[in-house]
Amino acid sequence: MASKDPKEKWTVESVTPVITDTVLATEGVASLQPMPPIHQGIIITNLFGSVGIDVYVNVFYNCNIPEVSWNVQERIKEAIEAGGMNADHINIHIEGVDLSNVRKNE
């Protein structure tokens, strides 16, 4: 989802669905980890123009967690920069491991 007007920058609210789609499309990510009533897996803070992003994910069993975390960070960075937003930090929190990709006989 790119901004139609290059001068038009995304807001914190409008970038959340972009981050959600980006995270879920990353190989190794099973799901976002919602923590109601606080957030739905993504927290974006904007203090005095300083944007921070925290993403809480579940990963698939047998994936390389550091690699998945790095890929999520890089993909988020690319996606938000395409919309004219920069983040001071992007933190990836691995909340759990999804075993749905493991066969019962293994």
Q: Give pLDDT, residue 106.
A: 56
Domain range enclosing 57: 18-98
pLDDT digits (tens, 9 = 90+) for 8-55: 567 777 889 999 999 999 999 999 999 888 889 999 998 887 899 999
Q: Is residue 52 part of a domain?
A: yes
Q: Is residue 68 part of a domain?
A: yes
Helix (H, G, I), strand (E, B) or coil at 40: coil
Q: Which helix (H) or strand (E) holds 96?
A: strand 89-98
Q: Is residue 104 part of a domain?
A: no
Q: State what percent of residues in the chain have pLDDT above 70.
A: 90
H-assigned helices in 1-106:
12-24, 65-82
